[in-house]
Copies of this chain bind each other. A is one copy, B any other.
């Protein structure tokens, strides 16, 4: 550590669970951080809505005027508030005046990355956001930097802990989605309003960010095909089990020639797949690149301390850049790839049907698949008196062809019920 070096001044916006952990680490690791940065890091102020809720923070640090704090003499703005406005405006102001920004705000980045990067570019400031995707797991830096000399083809992972907890529990107990969600809320694994998690919005934001940096193109949350887990039934779980599979909410980013496809939906994966054993609130992401082959990253995807670890790593990097005069990577969107709608993306379906147990039913169902150019990979039929259970797993085909096939099959008189339809991944 260089003695007497001018401190790097940091403004913090927000002080919830993550913010409190960031403050704790800034304090407990102060000497180490100074040694790694080459100058001490000084907390200049913390903008909060209700100062009286933070009695443990020295009062001279607290302010309700985030705008004034951002415009004051600080070098770096750390944002752990969340939400779009007023944060977007504050961060654009900060970046335009040359202040570097470290943010954990996935929703903001998934919608307004272009604005933020443009503001950063205009003033030569840094924009870092490791904490916005998969908490403590280093993922943004490996994709933006480690694999910058490679061509990434696919990113697939579990990036939402709440839904992973719920699906793991449904798999273990056989209970319904509604019961399991209640249990998750009781245990603190689901928010009072779980919409962002269970409907896949959180995962879609992360998928948009991952796709943007992996494929050097702009992908926003609106470009992401999204299905949540609310429609997953005990029958789906049971069907998956029968086939040696389990159900996970996956974020999948694919490069297909000169376009990208980004989707979030529940999918059956084999129980032997490395993602199958990712339980509870953990996250894990697979990356496939031309030269590097398959890589996997695993760790805690949320929580105050893990997220704060990612924020601090970014803070050290941008503070080092301030001290050394360098800059981190800016937006890389030169590839300008188009986004392929889910209808055209090749997927595979698992379909469980309750059908009449009589001659000719299998052949008539199979002919519907054939009519839609959907090739069947595996089929099993089990009689149960007058009914039979018919399970079909397809080869890959355009998603719209698979959907039309299922719609058509559902309307057949010999098909009593479509018990489960689920995409299949990871084989």
Contact = CB atoms under 8 A, between A and B. Distances in A.
Contact of A141 (B142, B149, B315, B316): B142
A313 B145 contact: yes
A136 B292 contact: yes
Determine the interface band of chain A, counting residues with CB < 8 A from chain B.
35 or more
Interface stretch (A171-179, A226-234, A301-309): A301-309
Contacts of A305: 290-293
A36 B332 contact: yes
A326 B320 CA distance: 10
Contacts of A151: 29, 32
Contacts of A274: 277, 298
A214 to B, nearest CB: 13
Given A29-B151, A320-B329, A313 B146 contact: yes
B298 A298 contact: yes
Given A138-B138, A296-B297, A326-B324, A148 B291 contact: no
A216 interface: yes
A147 interface: yes
A375 interface: no
Nearest to A277: B274
Nearest to A317: B145
A182 interface: no
A56 to B, nearest CB: 18
Interface in A303-337: 303, 305-306, 308-317, 320-321, 324-327, 329, 332, 334-335
Query: How many monomers of this chain does the complex have?
Result: 2
Contacts of A327: 324, 326
A149 B312 contact: yes
A76 B103 CA distance: 33
A376 interface: no
A309 to B, nearest CB: 4
A25 interface: yes
Nearest to A282: B294
A329 B36 CA distance: 8
B292 A306 contact: yes
A289 interface: yes
A378 interface: no
Contact of A296 (B146, B296, B332): B296
7 contacts: A25-B291, A29-B150, A148-B312, A149-B314, A293-B299, A296-B299, A320-B329
List 7 tightest A-B contacts by C-beta distance, closest first.
A326-B326, A149-B312, A138-B146, A136-B292, A291-B309, A148-B316, A292-B309
